[in-house]
Structure 1
Amino acid sequence: MSKLNRRHFLVTGLAAGAAAAIPATGAHAAPEPAAEPSKETAQSLASRGLRTDPFTLGVASGDPDHEGFVIWTRLAQQPMAEDGLGGMPQQPFPVLWQVYSDEGARRVVRSGVTVAAPEWGHSVHVELQNLSSDRDYWYRFRVGPYVSPLGRARTAPHPLSYGGALAMAFVSCSQYEHGYFTAYRRLAEERPDVILHLGDYQYEYTKDTYTIPGGNVRDHEGPETETLANYRQRHAQYKTDPDLQAAHAAAPWLVVWDDHELDNNWADEVPEKPENPQPNFLSRREAAFRAYYENMPLRRTSVPRGVDMQLYRRIRWGRMATFHMLDTRQYRDDQGCGDGYRDCPASIDPARSITGAEQEAWLLDGFRHSRAQWDILGQQVFFAQRDNNDGPAKITSQDAWDGYVASRKRITQGWLDAKVRNPVVLTGDVHAHWASDLKLDYDDPTGPSVGSELVATSISTGGDGTDSDPATHPFLTINPHLKFYNNQRGYVLTKVERDQMTADFKVVPQVQTSGGEVYTRATFVIEDRVPGVRQTYLRPLDPALRSQPMTVEETVRLETERP
């Protein structure tokens, strides 16, 4: 339990706030504002059935705008309970919350009471409004005698203001079994303004199904996730990690899923292996979506409705940046020739889409109306072409945008037609750092660059990984628009300014043991109105970490070697 003056938490009062409570009835009803009980009633109700600290999963904030953000927590006395209920009684609990203007939590600016209901895993989502723009806030929760850790959030600049430089980080792919979440801890220490998580927040596999050489360093609890109880338990296991909790508490997050939040390489209503039918796949999808909402700092607009969940959305950071957060899983056509690297005729079919028609139209409309200095696409899978064959055939990943060539071209042409000032695509999924120039026509390597892509490696998936000299990597030779590669763990930290975006590719060399240090492996700059990436720093290769150049086959194996 957090050590603070409980009397101070309460005597500041329970001013009316923008509390959003999960409904006690209605399986898919959107949350409605709760009637706030009195302070005394709330404390009396909250004391019933709580014997230990329920704030075992930490706190989080997300989806900021210029006057507010979401704050989140989920109550769980026994987070690893197999029934997914977290050891909580089957009753609603009033939860007190407070938002402060100072890190010492002395000056309360908003407070209220909301309800954590068992139907939604005792999760809490409070949407704050009417706060000052472009500044830090802090928040915490209380239920009964127990007080949560303190979290930091931040509002965006006013829509007509650029604000100062934006410190933005992005991450993906945290396989609990493959390594410790040291990269999350180091990211928390950077204190960015906002963190994007681009998918594979958790993995669905049962213990030892997805292994690394030498064996996994930690074990998943429970079976492969298929039911709501399974997904709640798995999210809870990840959320109990102190390094992940630190990253959530450090800054607001913008989250989107990829595949492992449900099932490896799923596509809309098609599971990974359609030749092995999953008759329960749609109920599995519904359970995964519900658990994802329960465990993420998302607004009420993302409450799932059956097998559907509205996750693509737009977050504006003043005039400096607009984040177009995409969902490339829920609406895509199934992979045309399987999930791996193929020379696939279906990949160029103009009728095929990775976003679906509605999301594509929404994105193109966003381009046309954007007045941002930087338009940033937060999404899951590799956008630029990556051909692994130096001959005439194109051998590309059918799970990435290479499997949906016409879809990629429509999006790229859309930002060109809209005269988007600085289009930048952010990507996860592939467990390696990459940087690349984007083209409208990848068959003409001398053609102009029309955008930039930055790709974050995994937090832990794949284990420690290995360093290599990017200049010797065959993918960069076959694809001259690809400018950087590194196969270690870490994250990307960017500084977004009016005249340039600077991206530091951060590396944690060891994650199979805990507590490693972090360093910058390379730095790239994207200049205002100059599409493409320019390297400004490259750390010398440590010969002890790698002795042989990486081959195409090894790169593909590392990326695709999943069950």
Structure 2
Amino acid sequence: MPASGEIQPRGTNRRRVLAGGAALGAAAVGTTLPPGVPTLARAAAHEGAGEPSTTDPFTLGVASGEPDQHSVVLWTRLAPRPLAEDGLGGMNRRVVVVHWEVALDDRFRHVVRRGHEWTGPDAGYAVHAEVAGLAPGREYFYRFRHGRHVSPAGRTRTAPAPAVVGAGLTMCFASCSQFEHGFFTAYRRLAEDEPDVVLHLGDYLYEYRRDSYVSPDGNVRDHRGPETETLANYRQRYAQYRTDADLRAAHAAAPWLVVPDDHEVDNNWAADVPEKPHRPQPDFLERRANAFRAYYENMPLRRRNRPRGPHIRLHRTVAWGALVNFHMLDTRQYRDDQACGDGWKVCEDAADPARTLTGDAQEAWLLERFRESRARWDLLGQQVFFARRRNASGATSMDAWDGYRGSRDRVSRGWVDAGVRNPVVLTGDVHTHWANELKADYADPDSPVIGTELVTTSISSGGDGYDSDPGDNENLRRNPHIKFFNARRGYVRTRITPGQLRADFRVLDRVTEPGAPARTRASFAIADRRPGLIERHPH
């Protein structure tokens, strides 16, 4: 039996959607809908009469994202041959139509919205349908059709109305899935938790060619194609990742909010500076434009997030009624280059108050969102370690907020000055679980706790990882505001209510073999109006 108080999945017939396979789509074709509402199957039979059957184009699954109180983005991408080198998934380079429908039930007996979108080679055969006119705070199911083929179904939901606090929200967040390093079982376990919303905080894929980044446990799968630099390269790599059934299940389980980190473009890039600026490669801004275009094509983002060349607007606030504001940040595109040549350093330049991780405009935007917020919880969905973290030599990471201390101070002071009720920073990037208390002054042990940071480990990056006893961890002794560390793979599951945020650090003992179970390694609560961590015991 699970421990009392641990967050439990709801265990309804949504399991049919979470299976992520084609069975539901096939079974749903013959269901009966209300009179006057043609089913996708009925339309397919009519439009497909006399046409030869073709290969299933829905090999990459379905997804949804960016929910507000009346709308959500539905996504798919046609790819009958997903690993085609030209990045177009085996499509015939013609513009085609894709139909969609949204229903109240997972058998599509009660369809409430339907429509169609056109797509073609210029969009990488991706579909973004912004479905409006939905009711607030409702669960919906959706699917697509192209020709005679009906996609698997996905589950999504809208946000509550702006004034509604509600009973609570289950949110999972994840980061760092390296295809070569392990199987994506953690995505499957996340899907089985049936969250209301998922945050993905970067490194959705990795840019490296085969075997150029090898896990300590050895690579168990191979990247297809060269290091990603061209648009075709990035499109092919996204398609390869989406061929993983566990990842498709996680996308089909709930709406996602996404931000990239570095590997969606190039390791440790900063603004217009690549990791290795002297390595021969295409112009970096051209590469960045290719990466952003492919990122948009493969994520359930709104049309307003469409990139313009090497620029993409990704910082945004998504409100979940009056309970949560999700502030999604971009910590790559506008930052200064890493101080002192990057890496772990004792670096005076890192303290320069003029240095910025967010850029001036994004920082001003975020501080204004703090001043305007009336939400119970304000969560920052972002990529790199926020709290101070020193190693044995006193060095800190120049790629994290430690390398941009003035930027961190201004953001922290901003939520304090604005009176933000419950600030919580959500972080990916580092391939390990951490739970941190955020301090007004890390040099003063008596400085007040002003916020909390939850850091998720990787889905697979780094291989199986290892377990450890937090009581014996040197990082925790050197950094007393850090309360938990673990190096297994997994994700973080949260339950957010008006009175508290509970976080379960979920781990898998192995990712080098598929199918491992997930367990809760540690649980912490954050109480309303009381920043900091209260440890709970899940076992």
TM-score (norm 1): 0.88
Deviation at 1:68, TM superposition (A): 1.5
Equivalent residue, structure 1, for 2:206: 203
* Corresponding residue for residue 489 of structure 1: 489
* 1:78 aligned onto 2:81: yes
**Counterpart pick for 2:63 among 60, 63, 79:** 60
Q: Tell me the residue number matched to 1:530.
A: 530
Q: SS at 1:64's partner residue? A: coil
SS in 2 for 1:178: coil
Aligned partners of 2:278 and 2:52: how far apart in 1? 47
Between the aligned residues of both structures, percent identity stands at: 59
Structure 1 counterpart SS, 2:105: coil
Name the amino acid aligned to 1:375: D
1:93, distance to aligned residue in structure 2 (A): 1.1
- Secondary structure of 1:162 counterpart: coil
Note the residue ranges of structure 1 that are not aligned, 5 or more in a row.
16-37, 540-563
Q: Is the 8 A contact 1:319 1:373 kept in 2?
A: yes
Is structure 2 residue 363 aligned with structure 1 residue 360? yes
- The answer to whether 1:225 aligns with 2:248 is no
Selected match of 2:258 from 235, 255, 259: 255
How do residues 97-496 of structure 1 correspond to structure 2 at under 5 angstroms? 97-276=100-279, 278-389=281-392, 394-496=394-496
RMSD over aligned Cα atoms: 1.9
1:121 counterpart letter in structure 2: G
In 1, Cα distance between the equivalents of 2:35 and 2:480? 60
The letter for the 2-side match of 1:479 is N
The alpha-carbon deviation at position 103 of structure 1 amounts to 1.8
Q: Secondary structure at the match of 1:404?
A: helix
Q: How big is the shift at 1:350?
A: 1.1
- Could you say if the C-alpha distance between residues 5 and 441 of structure 1 is closer, same or farther in structure 2, counting changes exceeding 3 Å? closer
Shift of 1:48: 7.0
- State the secondary structure of the residue aligned to 1:413: helix
Match of 2:14?
none
For residue 277 of structure 1, report the CA deviation from its aligned partner.
5.4
Q: How far did 1:164 drift?
A: 2.0
8 Å Cα contact 1:14/1:112 also seen in 2 = no
Equivalent residue letter for 2:26:
K
1:88 to 86, 91, 95: 91
- The CA deviation string for residues 520-547 of structure 1, in whole angstroms up to 9 with x for no partner, is 00000000011111211265xxxxxxxx
Residue aligned with 1:364, SS: helix
- In the aligned structure 1, how far is the partner of 2:501 from the partner of 2:130? 30
C-alpha distance in structure 2 between counterparts of 1:211 and 1:132, whole Å: 47
Return the offset for 1:12: 6.5
* 2:100 and 2:143 in contact (8 A); partners too: yes
Rounded to whole Å, the distance in 1 between the matches of 2:32 and 2:269 is 45
* Contact 1:467/1:487, CA 8 A, preserved across alignment: yes
How far does residue 40 in structure 1 lie from its aligned partner after superposition?
8.5
Alpha-carbon shift at residue 50 of structure 1 (Å): 6.7
Q: What are the Cα deviations for residues 247-268 of structure 1, in whole angstroms up to 9, with x where unaligned?
A: 0000000000000000000001
Deviation of 1:276 after TM superposition, in Å, equals 3.1
CA distance in 1: counterparts of 2:538 and 2:472, whole angstroms = 14
- TM-score when normalising by structure 2: 0.92
> 1:131 aligns to what SS in structure 2?
coil
**Equivalent in the alignment of 1:43:** 47
The whole-number CA distance in structure 2 between the counterparts of 1:137 and 1:80 is 31
> How far is the alpha carbon of 1:275 from its aligned partner?
3.9
Q: Conserved in 2, the CA contact under 8 Å of 1:384 and 1:453?
A: yes
The whole-number CA distance in structure 2 between the counterparts of 1:475 and 1:439 is: 17
Distance 1:206 1:162, change over 3 A: same
CA contact (8 A) 2:176 2:458 kept: yes
Q: Give the CA deviation at 1:214.
A: 4.1
Return closer, same or farther for 1:13/1:120 CA change in 2, 3 Å cut-off. farther
Give per-residue Cα distances to partners, 1:380-402, cap 9 Å, x unaligned. Answer: 00000001136xxx410000000
Aligned length: 513
Are 1:4 and 2:8 an aligned pair? no
Question: CA distance change for structure 1 residues 49 and 385 in 2, over 3 Å: closer, same or farther?
Answer: farther
> Do the aligned partners of 1:268 and 1:329 also contact (CA within 8 Å) in 2?
yes
Q: Any conservation in 2 of the 1:367–1:418 contact (CA below 8 Å)?
A: yes
